[in-house]
Amino acid sequence: MARRPPAEPAPGPGQRGSAPPATGLDLRTAPALAELPVRPGPGLPPEPRYRELLARHPVLALIGNTPLVRIDLFREELPGVEIWAKAEFLNPGGSLKDRPVLRMLAEAWLAGALAGRTVIDSSSGNAGIAYAMIGGLLGVAIELVVPGNASAERQQRIVAHGAQLRLTDPLLGYDEALREAHRRAAAEPDRYYLADQYANPHNWLAHYHGTAAEILAQTGGELTDFVAGVGTGGTITGCGRRLKEHDPRIEVSCVRPESFPGIEGLKPLGAPGDIVPAILDQGVIDRWIEVRSEDARAVCRALARQGLFVGLSSGAYLYAAREVARLRGRGRIVTLLNDTGERYFSTRLWQT
């Protein structure tokens, strides 16, 4: 699709966080999203080198191409804005992380890098499930280093798929799990293949070629904003790059959770010692939205009463989308429902 000429000059660095420019999107005349086609097929680029892998393991074709769902939670408050979310909890592993893990493991598998080796990586839980599920399917040994405060449901599912679990001190945060995975891989390089989702370019490429391409197809390229957060940086980097290539006026807002108690799967990136993921492109981020865990929790509970049972990071994304909608006043915002709420029964999320 050809790019539309910008109605106004793009904001300069000093304007970030200020009221964004007009986008030219008029919801009264824009195509209804339900009328637009969705590209069928697996969540991998349509390249010949993937065909054998997908033919041998057809379950992998279930990953990606998730529906776009309209969120009506704030409709009365903000009638001039549409908020839509990709239902990533419908992936077979139950989360968005199926996408990048499939791409990373597929590339390593096709390159012959996994033969006789154990894949190791760190995870907050969802990527660990995806590694365990897809690795088990491919017949590859998987070892995951996960913070000890990852929900019991996540830990149990990782083990159910046959992966080995290593837990780190939760007080040391996600970064300690990352460091431990690197220590183990460095100590035994012949034994381990370090997938390193924080630095692996196939992480963000999965979202560039998959998630963002689907968003453009499902919206007809007509959106004003994209809202996400940073775990590894893959989602916001891949989607941000692809969406801004399509239309530089699309604004990307990033969730910044509080450091404590925090939001599972999201990095605050606020302290000097925080590890910034190597693949994160902060240049695509137009503004940061501060989100407290209790605000995200309140949104999750409100969504549950509307039939969407999702995890805490999804609540954080929608809280941030609401803040962007208040700033915008009009437009079409797209975000993600990262995982299922059933993964959090053992946490404070659903406790009354």
Choosing from 86, 97, 244, 267, the catalytic residue is 97
Tokens 């590209």 — which residue? 39
Beta bridge partners of 254: 228, 288
Tokens 């941000």 — which residue? 240
Contact 109/53 with Cβ under 8 angstroms?
A: yes
Q: Could you tell me which residues come within 8 angstroms of residue 88 by beta carbon, excluding any fewer than 6 positions away?
A: 66, 95, 96, 336, 337, 338, 339
Can 86 be counted among the known catalytic residues? Answer: no
Burial class (CB in 10 A: 0-12, 13-18, 19+), 290: middle
Give the C-alpha separation, 223 to 72, whole Å. Answer: 17
The dihedral sign for the CA sequence 102, 108, 112, 118: negative
The dihedral sign for the CA sequence 221, 202, 158, 153: negative
Beta bridge partners of 120: 143, 194
| Catalytic residue annotation | 97
